[in-house]
Amino acid sequence: MSNEKRIQAPFSPETAASLKAGDRVLISGTIIAARDAAHKRLVETLDRGEDLPVNLEGQVVYYVGPSPAKPGQVIGAAGPTTSGRMDSYTPRLIEHGLRGMIGKGYRSEAVVESMKANGVPYLAAVGGAGALIARSIRSYTVLAYEELGPEAVAAMEVEDFPAIVVIDAEGNNYYEQGQAPYRAL
């Protein structure tokens, strides 16, 4: 694994291309929070030929449905959701400018092919560490689909949000690389 990199979100094409499978990153800037229900609504909006309620160009989406904030906190626990739940929607959103994704778990071949074609990396946040991850979130502002509660589309200002590049924009997969030495035994 390489050294930790500090990067800014939204991602420029250059930032997305510079991330390599296994890189540990600390992200600062604005990322978009959205889960299954929001993804479904976004794709339905595109299917109707309408404009999206948020501009996805360069954006990084974090698959999260945060718990309610306690008094004096910006947000409650904010651990990652299993990314595969968004796979049927992801290629369409990548086509509309999405530049990065953060979640946990594996991605489908269709998503990986779309990532490679569009220069988009996939990063993982540590599952079970939602309270710790929440410390890096400075603000949480709902942008669309407020009625979805924690599954709404929201902007999150983050500082030093920890993640690991799992699949880079070239399709190199850290999950596979990490398992390879053990398969040789």
Task: Give per-residue pLDDT as tens, 139-178.
Answer: 999 999 999 999 999 999 999 999 999 999 999 999 988 7
Distances (CA, A) of 74 to 4, 32, 47: 26, 15, 34
| Residues 6 or more apart whose Cβ sits within 8 Å of residue 148 | 37, 38, 41
Q: Give me the domains of the chain, ranges plus CATH numbers.
A: 4-183 (3.20.130.10)
The DSSP bridge partners found for residue 64 are 80
Tokens of 95: 């086509």
Q: What is the pLDDT of residues 13-65, one digit of tens each?
A: 999 999 999 999 999 999 999 999 999 999 999 999 999 999 999 999 999 98
Please report which confidence band the pLDDT of residue 181 belongs to, taking 50, 70 and 90 as the band edges.
Answer: confident
pLDDT value at 183 more than 90: no
Reported pTM: 0.94
**Residue pLDDT, tens place only, 122-138:** 999 987 788 889 999 99
